[in-house]
Structures are given as structure tokens and as C-alpha cells.
Amino acid sequence: VQLQASGGGLVQAGDSLRLSCAASGRPLSTYGMAWFRQAPGKEREFVAAIYWNSGRTNYADSVKGRFTISRDNAKNTLELQMNSLKSEDTAVYYCAADPNFSIAFMRLSSRYQYWGQGTQVTVSS
């Protein structure tokens, strides 16, 4: 599976941004997919995940109510709608895919076998 993330940019606090992750190579019907982010000097952290088959989602507390993860079956694309952005959302955002998805472990970056290249999101206050 190859993942290509896009959609990052420079925005102001309170603005919205939509990230996309195009997947190719294999059908994703049994995969779980997620967004992680990494700010300078910090560890990579979980943002949101979705089980491709059922559409079941899970969010980090820091983004719950502001971010929405979704998938487009027809386009084989993962998306992250980010609203009410804050300066602390500034990070490089990565999409990831896990062919052996488990809800119990969806927040662990080590579970994800495939990663996109990352897209920079910068929120100015």
C-alpha cells in the first residue's frame, strides 16, 4: 500500500483545513487507517482513526469535536477535516494504514505498517 498525504498549509487560528491521503496498491476494506501528527521536539501522537470497513472512528481528546476523519470508498482516499484550528495543532501530519486493524490498538503508531510522507500544518495565533 502506498500512501500520499496532501492538503497541509499555513492558516490562522480558528480557520479550517482539510487533509487528504490517497491510497493505492491494495483494497482497503480490511484496513484501519489513522492520522498521526508530530510537532517539533515532541513524539508522534495519535489524532484519529477509522476502520475502513465499518467506518467506526476514534479521536484523541485534544481534537474531539473539531476534527472529523472519513474515507471515500470510491476514491480510496482518507480525509481529515480540521475545524477551529489552534496553534497547538501545528505539526507534520501523517496518514497510516494497518492491515491487521484492532480497535484495542488503534492509537499505537507501532501497529501501522504503511505511512505517508507527511504534510505540514502550521496554525498562526
In 3D space, the residue among 90, 92, 94 whose CA is nearest the CA of residue 124 turns out to be 90
pLDDT tens for the 125 residues of the chain, in order: 999 999 999 999 999 999 999 999 887 778 899 999 999 999 999 999 999 888 899 999 999 999 999 998 888 999 999 999 999 999 999 999 999 888 889 999 999 999 999 999 999 99
CA 60 to CA 34: how far, in whole Å? 11
3-state SS assignment for residue 92:
strand
